Structure 1
Amino acid sequence: MKKIKGISRDTLRFILEVSRSSYPNEFAGLLQAEDGIITEVLILPGTEAGESSALLRLYMMPNISTVGSVHSHPGGIIKPSSADLQMFGKTGNYHIIVGYPYDLQSWTCFNAEGEERELQIIDDQTSE
């Protein structure tokens, strides 16, 4: 299992923006990391999103490793549902749920069992 140091601020901003633009539907994707930092969101083909759920077609996942998942809860309640917990166990150990109003204070990271876990926001390094 990969040790994750945190999530890139730009990646978190992307997640919040795509969740905001998907509202009132849910958004869902998978998380990938590079050098211990979550930097990518993979959106699987065939993902279905509605106002009360988003369905990831995990069988469409290419042969890559993921560290977890991300999805939005348009109602603003940032707690995993029983369906979320079933999916968490299949895709890694870092699961982000974002809720309305989709700002830097409206997200939480959970482990595969649905327990809150700390995930540091890491400022992106700019090359000179």
Structure 2
Amino acid sequence: MEMVRGIAKETLEFILGASKNTAPNEFAGLLHEEDGVITDVLILPGTESSDRNAVIKLFMMPNVESVGSVHSHPGPSARPSEEDLRMFSKTGNLHIIVAEPYDKDSWVCYTREGQPVDLPVLDIELEEPEVI
């Protein structure tokens, strides 16, 4: 896995839309990168979501590497809770929290230790997935 240099604009737009659509319940997923760019959100089977938290069933993780996690908060704070920090330590190095109003200015990326980190939004063309 190489160094992550940003997140695809289209992927961030998906995250913001999914967060808004599931509110007041939390949205949660794992982040996948290709060529140093976060391009996909993996929604694991069995993920439970409520207005208090989201629980990702890590034992359902397919044989795919994750660079981190993403989840939403039902209020205006994007600060990680103690539970968030415990999850960060298990699911990679970069973690996005999205808060109300779920727009381009209401998300923060954190390190696994909970320190804010700059994650550039890249306007790149994503490949269409192959249909088999």
How high is the TM-score relative to the length of structure 2?
0.93
- Partner of residue 78, structure 1: 78
- Partner of residue 24, structure 2: 24
C-alpha distance in structure 1 between counterparts of 2:84 and 2:126, whole Å: 35
Q: One-letter code of the match for 1:73? A: H
Judge conservation of contact 1:2–1:67 (CA < 8 Å) in 2.
no
Segments of 4+ moved more than 3 angstroms = none
* Stretches of structure 1 lacking an aligned partner (at least 5 in a row): none
C-alpha distance in structure 1 between counterparts of 2:96 and 2:10, whole Å: 15
Q: One-letter code of the match for 1:38? A: I
Report the CA distance between 1:46 and its aligned residue: 0.3
* Stretches of structure 2 lacking an aligned partner (at least 5 in a row): 128-132
Judge conservation of contact 2:39–2:126 (CA < 8 Å) in 1.
no
Report the CA distance between 1:125 and its aligned residue: 2.9
Structure-to-structure mapping, 1:24-43, within 5 angstroms:
24-43=24-43
Q: Give me the CA root mean square deviation.
A: 1.2
Report the CA distance between 1:2 and its aligned residue: 2.9
How high is the TM-score relative to the length of structure 1?
0.96
- Aligned residue pairs: how many? 127
Report the CA distance between 1:126 and its aligned residue: 7.2
- Partner of residue 49, structure 1: 49
Report the CA distance between 1:33 and its aligned residue: 0.2
Does the residue aligned with 1:90 lie in a helix, a strand or coil? coil
| Percent identity (aligned) | 54
Q: Deviations over 1:36-72 (max 9, x none)?
A: 0000000000000000100000000011100000000
- Partner of residue 130, structure 2: none
- Partner of residue 61, structure 1: 61
Q: Deviations over 1:13-54 (max 9, x none)?
A: 000000000011000000000000000000000000000100
